[in-house]
Structure 1
Amino acid sequence: MSHTTEPKKGEANRLINATSPYLLQHAYNPVNWYPWGEEALEKAKKEDKPILVSIGYSSCHWCHVMERESFENDSIAAIMNEHFISIKIDREERPDVDQIYMDAVQAMGQSGGWPLNVFLTSDQKPFYGGTYFPPESWAQLLKQVARVYNEKRSEVEESADQLTNAIATSEVIKFRLKDNGTEYTTTTLEKMYEKLSMKFDGNKGGFKGAPKFPMPGNWLFLLRYYNATNDQEALRQLEVTLSEIARGGIYDQIGGGFARYSVDADWLVPHFEKMLYDNGQLVSLYAEAYTATKLELYKEVVYQTIDWLEREMTSKEGGFYSALDADSEGEEGKFYVWTKDEVEHVLGAEANLIMSYYNIEKEGNWEEGKNILHMHVSDEEFAKRHDLGVAELKEKVWKADELLLEERSKRVRPGLDDKVLAGWNGLMQKGLVDAYVAFGEPKFLDLALRNAHFLDQHMIHDFRLNRSFKSGKASIDGYLEDYAFVIDAYTALYEATFDEQWLKKAKGLMDYTIEHFYDNSEKLFFFTDDRSEKLIARKKEVFDNVIPASNSQMALNLYRLGKIYDHEEYLNKSSMMIGKMTALMEQETAYLSNWAILYADMATPTAEIVIVGKEAELMRRHLTDRYHPNKIMMGAIDASDLPLIKGKTTIGGATAIYVCYNKTCKLPVTSVEKALEQLQ
């Protein structure tokens, strides 16, 4: 067997040419890493060696630990270099590869997670894998796998074939998705809500138990369910959840932005990494929840989080970065936590009040001496206890936050993953548009427009989308997730501005996706473009997780664009997709909540609102002050070719609002109040 030369001490391996910050973190490991691609895959065949695929991402804590313990260890690296072709993958750049091998590890009966380490035959078929391994077990496993691969090849290949067949089985067959024509009823909606409500933590919000993840799709479904049924308990559960998260340590109290999850059941101790996709969706959710509840806390969270986005996560071109690491100086959370002495030093005379406000203790409320800033009660309650006016308290807290933030900015910062991912940018852009619609803040629209232009100029060519942008260049073919969230953001941007260029771009991307991703036989979309690299399986993503499934988002996009363009094919496709999922949705609402949101839109009438005239934009703003989420907004200052606007005119020169349901319009009105009455 030929021997692969390993990098010499201090010498870079092949990852040095990668764009991914995660791969670059591994560029000086003694492991002879390759990026995923032709060179490594060919080499494995030529040398008849098994492939080791190791998958992670830049802000993954246990990925760093395994690197430190094993991949920087010369003797372990030597075993890897002798027996394997080792490939490092950034799961955020290549979710297609990650999805296949994550499925494989779960099919072996193991729980998935990252780092994901999977052994493949030289033709990319998986035969063994797992997640994090401590160094001794890792070294032992490497030797064992190499021995079995050489001595029991036929058994290895047989098991690899079986696994490959299992993961290549279509999701439609695997989950018994049937073409059900769907009757959309609030009864089915109630069943979905009941399924979810069994998991509620009525005290602290979210679902019972720990760790606790903010799951924006689940809470948005609660809000839409409340809107459809007026169920006050659903609204209460939503408010408890959003208020507890906003006051918890999972939210960065002085800097804005949400951490990935909390390790406890109280939202107190975060896993400190901040991901763009969480923050984009949570900005949308808090903005919409504010419109429904008018709770000031939600507005503060949105404004502060967008400040963080602008300050720490925006590239000079207008793209949004992917993530901030949990660790700085090799220590988790070091950047974010405070000792009592540090706070006293920064705040002087105001320190006692603020320490009480944020629950800072001498012995620390987390690890010894270290405090995670969080609140136990509302500002109103705290102000009353301390004999202060609410406005006075807010002013004091705001000043203290400024000082603490300034002091914190002198610390060593957590690592920044500065690649720009199209789909995640779509989620954040949509968050900004939703925030603009809720609050009318021009800055939010400016940021959204800058991002929309950035994507359009740098990441979209002839309606074909790139996944990733870094160091001035776009790379990797877009996945369904990228198209789904960019289409959603552009559609929302049209509805917030009535600028039809964004609508046309959304439709162009939609038509490209139907042509290159849609599976006519199963009536769902593949995750990958038919022009892209062929892997051992072509998957479809149907379950909503922390990020909604790309198929559920496409079904929503088809529904909205179908309404706006009066496009029967889009509406039929959307209806067939949701019909396939309804039976499963009733059983597994928590994992299909984005589908359930579309179901809620279909179970109650969707208003088509058209505004025509000089004041179209102003009237849109007044109309969206009131909570009515199940609507499509269209408008024009004068004429438009959109089917639902054609032929609609001003009334005696005054801007007119047309409220329509299923293309049938009520009498046009010239005041927002009258339009709101028609919406009731």
Structure 2
Amino acid sequence: MEEDKKANRLLNESSPYLLQHAYNPVDWYPWGEEALQKAKQEDKPIIVSIGYAACHWCHVMEHQSFEQEDIAKVMNEHFVCIKVDREERPDVDAVYMDAVHAMGLQGGWPLNVFLNPDAKPFYGGTYFPPQQWVGLLQNIAVAYQKNREDLDESAEQFVEHLNRSELDKYGLRESNFHVREEDFKLMGYNFSTRFDKKLGGLGQAPKFPMPTNYLFLLRYHHHTSDQSALNQLHLTLHEMAYGGIYDQVGGGFARYSVDAEWLVPHFEKMLYDNGQLVSLYAEAYQATRETLYHEVVYETIAFVERELMSPEGGFYSSLDADSEGEEGKFYTFTKDELQEILGDEEPLFSKYYHATAAGNFEHGRNILHRRKSDEEFAQKHELELEVLQEMVQNWKRKIMEVRATRIRPGLDDKILTSWNALMLKGLADAYYVFGNEHFLELALRNANFLLQNLKKGDKLFHNYKEEKATIDGFLEDYSYLIRAFTRLYEVTFDEQWLQEAKRLTDYTLENFFDEKEGMFFFTDQRSEKLIARKKEIIDNVTPASNSVMASNLHFLGLYFDEERYSTLSNDMLARVKDLLIKEPSHLSNWAALYYHKLTPTAEVAIVGENPGKMRSELSAFYHPNMLLLGSSDGQSNLALLEDKLAINNKTTIYVCYNKTCQLPVHDAASALEQLQGMQQNTKFPPL
């Protein structure tokens, strides 16, 4: 019982991950000056143990090692022990993950790194079984006493590596800006070599959703009409939506699939995945009108609102993979349990969701998943489509009622600005495509929550819990929120959101930008100084903060006619171009920006009575390379809306590019014709 145990210093923290360790016998410190000073005063090495609340193997190592008195005694005697929530301190995580990679080791979480008292790393790893962990602790304690100079020398070499520029590491060099059609096509070809054309996604297991990859494929197909790009998109989005990685009953996606078939998920559900996947499936629906994508968007938003939304309007970070100490127990069912819940309809349910008596998961349990569309299933089983769909909704309701009686997975209830911004953009994108007013209400509520609680002046904070925001914002917070606010302007035509985006952009240029290399640091120059100051270049499960900033500068440069923004965006893209062409799957958000520069981005201004109605008509068409502006009263501070008036008292659309406008029109179809003509006739000539 925790009440019988003595709490350590983590009890005063707000992070659910740190609080999970608050009653460990390990004398944990949070990351901070107190722990670092103690290491110097006592001349002890440091253990930095990094994880997050929804991490399964973090829980395993805690139970096997950190909860054990004998192991804790060794840790406390020889080390200063620091626990870090990687989601709260991605800056600390990035530095020491890079160090472990430099040691030639595979990274992951839990991440356990050994430092000297100057916070410089000399050894590390991920999960260690208890006996191996104790042996390692004892060996390092001895080595620290007997071979201190060697360890310090090794640490200095790692610090030298950590401070090497990311641009140098990836061979990125200054280059003149130009975009070429043949380079774009080569990008698409190089991307396609990694397609899994049978099961969707890229490469082999494990498989992550990687939304920026498929947002790029949508744009690539739109520009080139390459059918193979669209085929891969459809294959991947269908396989994910039919697989176990998607919660077939409650909506929402797990973090990744451990297999190539998308069947067995790592059951944790992260806000950042679901926000991005709402954007992806909404845009894919707009481009293709595939009804499955509509269903996924609505169900995923319903999941986020039901299980991750705070009463104040913020979104919590994640749900754990485990419940009752067992991974996936909350979401899986035995055949007998299904029989009890569904009665006579269980055999049909089990065919629809592929549940068997033996089970397709551990302990005879079943991960519900699909293989066919409703149309195919109804035809095969001689059912009317409407009858089947009504049965499916009834099945889902019954399963959800049973799940409501189960012990729920743990909730990480901290609120992060960057992840909220991804969800905010997802809601704005969904509203743009579907016109559902509830999506806009959720978006506006969240945006106002972020302004009120995570912004002070022009400065952002990264985290929020119990009415406190304590950690300075990182570039991911600024870049994602700038992008979300820009999108929120496009779906509301409320200029406060665009002005907020500009203020945040100017703050990042002043406090994050490296004039020497032309990229942004991950950390604010006013914030705590670590042993290295990193830059995030490579797109991963979330887009790299530098690629998002380059896109933000592109669009805001157009909105505000700010030449400096546009030039910086071009220079950043030019710097990564060579690597981008070779490795587009690792720089897919950069690749999407390349698309936006390949033909001029259209500026579509809607003026007159109820411009939102005309915007909703425009959204029936897919044209991803445009920005939207609107005004109902002619009052605007935006240069792009100057001298644009409603003609003959009719709502009027101006399609412009490169500061040149087409003839004004009064309907969405005519505007689309102009947009399509522009794409065909204004491609840059090869240089």
Question: So what's the TM-score if we normalise by structure 1?
Answer: 0.98
Q: Please name the residue that 2:640 is paired with.
A: 644
Q: Distance in 2 between matches of 1:128 and 1:208?
A: 31
Q: Please name the residue that 1:614 is paired with.
A: 609
Residue among 655, 660, 675 paired with 2:656? 660
Residue among 199, 217, 224 paired with 1:222? 217
Q: Distance in 2 between matches of 1:530 and 1:444?
A: 36
Aligned amino acid, residue 645 of structure 1: L
Aligned amino acid, residue 150 of structure 1: Q
Q: Please name the residue that 1:287 is paired with.
A: 282
Larger deviation, residues 179-188 vs 259-268 = 179-188
Aligned amino acid, residue 664 of structure 1: T
Q: Please name the residue that 2:30 is paired with.
A: 35
Larger deviation, residues 197-206 vs 75-84 = 197-206
Q: Distance in 1 between matches of 2:252 and 2:47?
A: 36
Aligned amino acid, residue 157 of structure 1: D
Q: Please name the residue that 1:480 is paired with.
A: 475
Q: Please name the residue that 2:193 is paired with.
A: 198
Q: How much has 1:140 moved relative to structure 2? A: 0.5
Q: Distance in 2 between matches of 1:502 and 1:389?
A: 47
Aligned amino acid, residue 241 of structure 1: T
Residue among 493, 496, 499 paired with 1:498? 493
- Per-residue CA deviations over 1:27-86 (Å, capped at 9, x if unaligned) read 000000000011100000000000110000000011001001000111110000000000
Change (3 A) 1:269 1:8: closer
Asked whether the equivalents of residues 464 and 478 of structure 1 are also in contact (C-alpha less than 8 Å), the reply is yes
Q: How much has 1:591 moved relative to structure 2? A: 0.9
Q: How much has 1:367 moved relative to structure 2? A: 2.5
Residue among 367, 384, 388 paired with 2:383? 388
Q: How much has 1:204 moved relative to structure 2? A: 1.0
- Say which SS state the counterpart of residue 530 (structure 2) adopts: coil
Q: How much has 1:208 moved relative to structure 2? A: 2.9
- Per-residue CA deviations over 1:276-297 (Å, capped at 9, x if unaligned) read 0011100000000000110000
Q: How much has 1:365 moved relative to structure 2? A: 2.0
**Within the alignment, does 1:148 sit opposite 2:143 as a pair?**
yes
Q: Distance in 2 between matches of 1:244 and 1:616?
A: 38
Residue among 453, 461, 466 paired with 1:471? 466
Q: Distance in 2 between matches of 1:122 and 1:318?
A: 42
Residue among 63, 69, 86 paired with 2:58? 63
Larger deviation, residues 91-100 vs 639-648 = 639-648
Q: Please name the residue that 1:21 is paired with.
A: 16
Q: How much has 1:369 moved relative to structure 2? A: 2.1
Residue among 614, 626, 629 paired with 2:621? 626
Q: Distance in 2 between matches of 1:42 and 1:678?
A: 65
Query: In the TM superposition, what are the counterparts of 1:358-373 in structure 2 within 5 Å?
Result: 358-373=353-368
Q: Distance in 2 between matches of 1:400 and 1:57?
A: 34
Aligned amino acid, residue 679 of structure 1: L
Q: How much has 1:304 moved relative to structure 2? A: 0.3
- Per-residue CA deviations over 1:574-623 (Å, capped at 9, x if unaligned) read 00000000001112111111100000111123111000011211000100
Identity %: 59
- Say which SS state the counterpart of residue 216 (structure 2) adopts: helix
- Say which SS state the counterpart of residue 364 (structure 2) adopts: coil
- Say which SS state the counterpart of residue 503 (structure 1) adopts: helix
Question: So what's the TM-score if we normalise by structure 2?
Answer: 0.97
Asked whether the equivalents of residues 488 and 506 of structure 1 are also in contact (C-alpha less than 8 Å), the reply is yes
Q: Distance in 2 between matches of 1:558 and 1:268?
A: 39
**Within the alignment, does 1:75 sit opposite 2:70 as a pair?**
yes
Q: Distance in 1 between matches of 2:19 and 2:465?
A: 13
Q: Please name the residue that 1:489 is paired with.
A: 484
Larger deviation, residues 363-372 vs 410-419 = 363-372
Q: Distance in 2 between matches of 1:301 and 1:208?
A: 24
- Say which SS state the counterpart of residue 473 (structure 1) adopts: coil
- Say which SS state the counterpart of residue 471 (structure 2) adopts: strand
Asked whether the equivalents of residues 186 and 229 of structure 1 are also in contact (C-alpha less than 8 Å), the reply is no
Number of residue pairs matched by the alignment: 674
Q: Distance in 1 between matches of 2:394 and 2:160?
A: 60
Aligned amino acid, residue 646 of structure 2: T
Give the ranges of 4+ consecutive aligned residues of structure 1 lying more than 4 Å apart after TM superposition: none
Q: Please name the residue that 1:181 is paired with.
A: 176
Q: Distance in 2 between matches of 1:72 and 1:449?
A: 43
- Say which SS state the counterpart of residue 82 (structure 2) adopts: strand
- Per-residue CA deviations over 1:463-497 (Å, capped at 9, x if unaligned) read 10000001111110000000010111000000111
Q: How much has 1:182 moved relative to structure 2? A: 2.5
Q: Please name the residue that 2:293 is paired with.
A: 298
Q: Distance in 2 between matches of 1:628 and 1:83?
A: 61
Q: Please name the residue that 1:250 is paired with.
A: 245
Q: Distance in 2 between matches of 1:290 and 1:141?
A: 52
**What are the ranges of 5 or more consecutive residues in structure 1 without an aligned counterpart?**
1-6
Q: Distance in 2 between matches of 1:548 and 1:463?
A: 23
Q: Please name the residue that 2:685 is paired with.
A: none
- Per-residue CA deviations over 1:233-255 (Å, capped at 9, x if unaligned) read 10011000000100001000000
Q: How much has 1:507 moved relative to structure 2? A: 0.6
- Say which SS state the counterpart of residue 89 (structure 1) adopts: strand
Aligned amino acid, residue 399 of structure 2: L
Q: How much has 1:378 moved relative to structure 2? A: 1.0
- Say which SS state the counterpart of residue 123 (structure 1) adopts: coil
Q: Distance in 2 between matches of 1:367 and 1:26?
A: 28
- Per-residue CA deviations over 1:345-379 (Å, capped at 9, x if unaligned) read 22223222211111111111222421110001111
**What are the ranges of 5 or more consecutive residues in structure 2 without an aligned counterpart?**
677-687
Larger deviation, residues 451-460 vs 337-346 = 337-346
Q: Please name the residue that 2:372 is paired with.
A: 377
- Say which SS state the counterpart of residue 260 (structure 2) adopts: coil
Asked whether the equivalents of residues 8 and 30 of structure 1 are also in contact (C-alpha less than 8 Å), the reply is no
- Say which SS state the counterpart of residue 641 (structure 2) adopts: coil
Q: Please name the residue that 1:595 is paired with.
A: 590
Q: Please name the residue that 1:307 is paired with.
A: 302
Q: How much has 1:188 moved relative to structure 2? A: 1.0
Q: Distance in 1 between matches of 2:164 and 2:189?
A: 32
Q: How much has 1:9 moved relative to structure 2? A: 6.3
Q: Please name the residue that 2:680 is paired with.
A: none
**Within the alignment, does 1:342 sit opposite 2:340 as a pair?**
no
Q: How much has 1:196 moved relative to structure 2? A: 1.5
- Say which SS state the counterpart of residue 477 (structure 1) adopts: coil
- Per-residue CA deviations over 1:533-565 (Å, capped at 9, x if unaligned) read 011111100000001100000001111111111
Q: Distance in 2 between matches of 1:28 and 1:267?
A: 37
Q: Distance in 2 between matches of 1:538 and 1:69?
A: 34
Q: Distance in 2 between matches of 1:626 and 1:231?
A: 19
- Say which SS state the counterpart of residue 534 (structure 2) adopts: coil
- Say which SS state the counterpart of residue 107 (structure 2) adopts: coil
Aligned amino acid, residue 342 of structure 2: L
Q: Please name the residue that 1:4 is paired with.
A: none
Aligned amino acid, residue 527 of structure 1: F
RMSD, matched Cα: 1.1
- Say which SS state the counterpart of residue 657 (structure 1) adopts: strand
Aligned amino acid, residue 294 of structure 2: K
Residue among 428, 448, 473 paired with 2:443? 448
Q: Please name the residue that 2:683 is paired with.
A: none
Q: How much has 1:186 moved relative to structure 2? A: 2.3
Q: Please name the residue that 1:115 is paired with.
A: 110
**Within the alignment, does 1:261 sit opposite 2:241 as a pair?**
no
**Within the alignment, does 1:274 sit opposite 2:251 as a pair?**
no
